[in-house]
Amino acid sequence: MIQKTLIVLLFLLVGNTCAGQEQDITAKLYDTYDQYKESALDKRRVKHKEIQQLVAQYQNNPKFKVQQVGQSIEGRELSLISIGTGETDVFLWSQMHGDEPTATQAIFDIFNFLDSGDFAAEKDAILSNLTLHFLPMLNPDGAEVYQRRNTLGIDINRDALRLQSPEGRTLKSVRDSLEADFGFNLHDQSTYYNAERTEKPATISYLAPPYNYEKDINEGRGNAMKVIVFMNNIIQKYAPGQVGRYSDDFEPRAFGDNIQKWGTSTILIESGGYANDIEKQEIRKLNYVSILSAIYTIAKGNYADIPIEDYEKIPKNDRKLFDLKITGLNYKLLGGDYVLDIGINRPEVDDESHNSFYYSSRVLDQGDLSTYYGYETLEAAGYTLRPGTVYPETVGSMEEVDFISLLRAGHTYLRVKNLSDKMLTSSLPFHLISEAYELPEFRLQPGINPTFLLEKDGEIRYAVINGFLVDLKSDRETMVSRWGNQQANAMIYR
């Protein structure tokens, strides 16, 4: 009995020591991240040329093996970068969808980490037990124009059976040649997902994809679930409550589901939204930390002791977030007074080069939105919606405009002489219109551009311009700073 008790205590001591070591490496990874962040990548619209310039740096590096494993439809190289000598193969692929690049950037941060002289003991444990394989950009043609689908116009993630896309055939051939033990399927999801029944965005969502309609759990899928539980515990430290569990409905055409079926323990990671992180650089950091920590626990084998039932405790993904939610607003219509909530989203529109974007916002919903949330929420009880008007004078230069006075006077549109065709948006918080443009009658309804004023006790307190909230009680410097920090824009109407 005494011997059995000692064995149990020794097991618990070893387990706690391993957990402590993993928590320690996670904290160190987070604290030292800036040393390894790849500075050449700091925007979401990453192009294949930028990626290949970085890949080329590793071709002559003896630590890494770089090989071309395929081509996209338009002839762009698909590169596989490998490192390590261990018997367990871990395969990570990113940007299957061209507009989902967060993890692509994190992969190059991971390369910088693996190439450094730091964390020697931890890296030895990783690289002696594992061989890591990275395919950082599977859909370079889609990335070029920042779109989900490839040049064929199909979703590569629905091509696992027919394999009509060269990108899909490459993914399958690499997986099959490696017979990878673990796979990390790296994506971005909508920023409007939230952790179920909370106002917190699903900054990271996970899934151990099913391999059949019954959603059975075999050893491979179970191992993926255990690693996900481990990763969730890490993210909770840095983004508490901001993790979701992606729907596990079986999709027989999807690569994740099939790769699980083919014998690779597959972990889907979806990078969602994070407040005030327009270019998703904080989420990139969370990818870096959680993926490296997961790789470390796979190398050590410690994931095996994680309770699989904790996977189901991760909240489900929901989609009930707006960029801006206004609640309890009074709206006058045809002689009646009504109380409405308004949900506003700010879709991005790419410029012609697909290197940048602007916002063209929309009222997404209105009515009782009490079960929805906002990245920003204004409690507007006592406020009345008032349509904005056109400033009565036509101006020739922006320099002569006091835009704060315009907004406080109820003007949200400014008529401009000789409005340049090259101008796509207004950089100040009011819309610019041509001399010939006639402003349509205002009617609040889903689909319209959200531009209006909020009045209380006869005073205009707030303006909503292209879906961005402007506090008219702020001084000019504060107002301009906040508008700029949001990378906000108003529209031009001709």
What is the domain-level CATH number for residue 477? 2.30.40.10
Separation between Cα atoms, residue 434 and residue 422, nearest integer Å: 13
Separation between Cα atoms, residue 408 and residue 384, nearest integer Å: 15
| Residue type (1 letter), 147 | Q
Q: What are phi and psi of 201, to 5 degrees?
A: -65, 150
207 plus 227 within the same structural domain: yes
439 plus 345 within the same structural domain: yes
From the CB of residue 188, how many other CB atoms can be counted at a distance below 10 Å? 23
Separation between Cα atoms, residue 65 and residue 293, nearest integer Å: 22
313 plus 389 within the same structural domain: no
261 plus 226 within the same structural domain: yes
Q: Which of 177, 189, 261 lies closest to 220, judged by CA?
A: 261
Q: What residue numbers bound the domain in which 122 lies?
A: 20-318
For residue 1, being part of any structural domain is answered with: no
Domain count of the chain? 2
454 plus 392 within the same structural domain: yes
186 plus 326 within the same structural domain: no
pLDDT for the residue 418: 87
Please give the structure tokens belonging to residue 150. Answer: 């490839």
For residue 455, being part of any structural domain is answered with: yes
Separation between Cα atoms, residue 130 and residue 259, nearest integer Å: 19
Last residue of a domain, one of 318, 347, 378: 318
104 plus 62 within the same structural domain: yes
Q: What is the CATH classification number for the domain harbouring 26?
A: 3.40.630.10
Last residue of a domain, one of 292, 318, 344: 318
Write the secondary structure of 199-260 as one string of H (helix), E (strand) and C (coil). Answer: CCECCEEEECCCCCCCCCCCHHHHHHHHHHHHHHHHHHHHCCCCEEECCCCCCCCCHHHHHH
Separation between Cα atoms, residue 387 and residue 402, nearest integer Å: 20
Helix (H, G, I), strand (E, B), or coil: what is residue 466?
A: coil
pLDDT for the residue 476: 86
pLDDT for the residue 21: 56
For residue 15, being part of any structural domain is answered with: no
Name 71's bridge partners.
77
pLDDT for the residue 13: 39
pTM comes to: 0.93
For residue 9, being part of any structural domain is answered with: no
Last residue of a domain, one of 295, 318, 341: 318
For residue 286, being part of any structural domain is answered with: yes
229 plus 332 within the same structural domain: no
312 plus 362 within the same structural domain: no
Burial class (CB within 10 angstroms; exposed 0-12, middle 13-18, buried 19+) of 163: middle
Separation between Cα atoms, residue 382 and residue 384, nearest integer Å: 7
288 plus 350 within the same structural domain: no
Helix (H, G, I), strand (E, B), or coil: what is residue 393?
A: strand
Q: What are phi and psi of 142, to 5 degrees?
A: -65, -40
280 plus 394 within the same structural domain: no
Please give the structure tokens belonging to residue 400. Answer: 């002569």
pLDDT for the residue 20: 55
pLDDT for the residue 23: 65
For residue 59, being part of any structural domain is answered with: yes
314 plus 341 within the same structural domain: no
Q: What residues contact residue 253 under an 8 Å CB cut-off, 6+ apart?
A: 158, 159, 160, 161
For residue 378, being part of any structural domain is answered with: yes
Q: What's the Cα-to-Cα distance from 210 to each of 91, 180, 221, 222, rounded to whole Å?
A: 18, 17, 7, 10
* DSSP notation for 304-359: GGS-GGGGGGSPBEE--EEEEEEEEEEEEETTEEEEEEEEEE--EEE-TTSS-EEE
Q: What is the mean pLDDT of each run of 10 residues along the chain (494 residues)?
A: 42 44 83 98 97 96 98 98 98 98 98 97 98 98 98 98 98 98 98 97 98 98 98 97 97 98 98 97 98 98 97 97 98 97 98 96 98 98 98 85 91 93 91 95 97 97 98 91 94 95
For residue 128, being part of any structural domain is answered with: yes
